[in-house]
Each structure stands twice: as C-alpha cells, then as structure tokens.
Amino acid sequence: MWVLRALVEPGRESPSGRPVATPPGGAAGADPAIGTGTHRDTRSSDMLHEFELHKEIELTATPEQVWEAIATGPGTDAWFMGRNQIEQGEGGRNEMDLLGRVQRSTVTGWEPGKRFSIRGDANPDGSFLAMEYLIEGRDGGSTVLRLVQSGFLGDDWETEYEAMQEGWDMYLHKLSQYLTYFPGRGAVPISAVRPRAGDRDRAWATIMAALGLDGPAAEGDPVRFQVDGLPPAEGVVDYAGLPTFLGVRTSDALYRFIHSGPQRGDVVVLGHHVFADVDREETERAWRAWLDHLFA
C-alpha cells in the first residue's frame, strides 16, 4: 500500500496515454480524525525537505478488522487509491497501480493487529515517503488508529505537504465509512481523471448539478445520479470537503470526487469503490465518458 495524492500532474501521461498520478499522498476531513504536522527545512544537495505528519481516528471496528483494511491488498482497495498488492511480512514488497503509474514500497514493520509500516521507493530526486500505522483496541469494540507519515519532499514541498494535511482526513473518513457500512466486503476500485476541467467554482457547480445537489453540499444531503451504461444511483453526501473533496455513499459504493485546484491544472479526479460484482474496465470507461460529457 502507498500513499498517493489523488491528483494528476498536468502534461504527463502514462504509457496508456492517460494522465498519471503524482506522489505524494493526502487525506483529511472533519470527522473524528485529527492531525498535527511538523516540517524541518532540512536541505540536502537536492534541496529536499524533511517532514513528519501525525493523524489519529477512532474507528467503530475491532483491531483485527482495522488490520485487514490497512495491511492487505483487498482491504486497501476498499477505501484507498488505486489497485494494491501487499506482500505480507517484514521485507515484503508492495505495489499500488493508480491510473497507469505503479508506486512500490517495502514493509518495514509487521506486527499483526498492532503495527504496520512501509517505506516507499525513493524518487529520482531522492524524495520518499514512509508510513506507520499504530493500532490500539478500546473497550466496546472500537479501535484507535494512529498514523505517522514522514520522509523527504522535493522542491514543491509546500504544495505536497498541504495536500497531505488536507487529504489524509478524507481518506481516514473513507476508511471509517468502509468499516461502518461495508465491513469485510470486497470492492472494485474505480479511477478516472479529466484534465483542464475548469476552475473550482465552475467544476463543482457542474458536478453537483449532475448529482442532483442544489446549492452548497452538506453531509446527509440526498444524491441521485445516472451514468450512462450503469444503474441509476441514490445515496447521501457523506463527506463535504469543498473546494477539494466531495464524498457520496450509496447502498453499494463509496464515491469520491476531487478537484486538484489551479496549482495542479484544475483536474477532476474520481476515486470510487464499488462493493458489487462489476467489470472494472467497463465501469471506468463509463465514468470517463461521464466526465467527458460534463466538461466537453
């Protein structure tokens, strides 16, 4: 498993011709998740910047359920980004495939039900990310999950650091939604991007209209939408993190709509998880067509 920001870098494409994801990763939200962070301007010959970021969330799940969600490929596929393969045990090699770009990491800590840590392979400039999850069971069947993300960021460290601070709350909220509403269920991860979708105000107005939302989105607002080639969907807003994130939960899916902002080229990214037997490629084609129609 690896943390990637759910944004794409304008102008870069994968071998498939699609825009590619660019590290590092983010999350953040307004649930029980809280976080702090530090940044030390430690400059190497490549002008790298050392950082450490802390997050914490209480989950309505057992430590065993939380471990399965963070330390296995199928569990990670149910709430994080891309398609994941995790080799169990310390020293195991992991892969995360997001929009045609594969990020690799190594397991550096493996204590089932207690601690899971990884270190990402270094980028050409020497930057890398490391993550440590600490699991603590509580009375009544709940679990506290603590996350420490650290490493070295490159020249664009301010943008990357802010993205991680904001992004992690969203991802941890999604993890909470998964463990609450879809515990133990397998998911099909669906990703799509639309470069140059327009500024945030225009893009969000377009997306919310397509989802049947009128005015500013709030958690609990009803949502109804139709993607050509897919069944109609009804649900509720489960995460209102505008102007960057919007989350929708239905009876069989968690949907995430993301706008990169102007620093990343005003790209719209979709990061969905469907808890049903669907064809991933067909479903991704349908969502790409939906984006192309909205922002034609």
What phi and psi values does residue 123 have, to the nearest 5 degrees?
-80, 165
The answer to whether the CB of 179 falls within 8 A of the CB of 60 is yes
Q: How far apart are CA 53 and CA 140, in angstroms?
A: 29
Would you state the pLDDT for residue 39?
47
Nearest-5° angle of CA 123, CA 125, CA 128? 45
**Cα dist from 176 to 36, 58, 153, 264, whole Å:** 19, 8, 28, 28
Q: Tell me the pLDDT tens digit for each residue of 115-131.
A: 999 999 998 888 889 99
Q: By three-state DSSP, how is residue 274 classified?
A: strand
Q: How far apart are CA 110 and CA 118, in angstroms?
A: 9
What pLDDT tens digit does each residue of the chain (296 aa) get? Answer: 333 343 444 333 333 333 333 333 333 333 333 345 554 444 344 588 888 899 999 999 999 999 999 999 999 999 999 999 999 999 999 999 988 889 999 999 999 999 999 999 998 888 889 999 999 999 888 999 999 999 888 776 666 767 777 889 999 999 999 999 999 999 999 999 999 999 999 999 999 999 999 988 999 999 999 999 999 999 999 999 999 999 999 999 999 999 999 888 999 999 999 999 999 999 999 999 999 999 99
Q: Give the list of residues 6+ apart from residue 144 with CB closer than 8 angstroms, or none.
A: 56, 57, 58, 59, 135, 136, 138
Q: How far apart are CA 260 and CA 112, in angstroms?
A: 35
Q: Give the list of residues 6+ apart from residue 209 with CB closer than 8 angstroms, or none.
A: none
Q: How far apart are CA 106 and CA 208, in angstroms?
A: 39
Element (H, E) at 161: helix 157-181
The answer to whether the CB of 293 falls within 8 A of the CB of 285 is no
Would you state the pLDDT for residue 264?
81
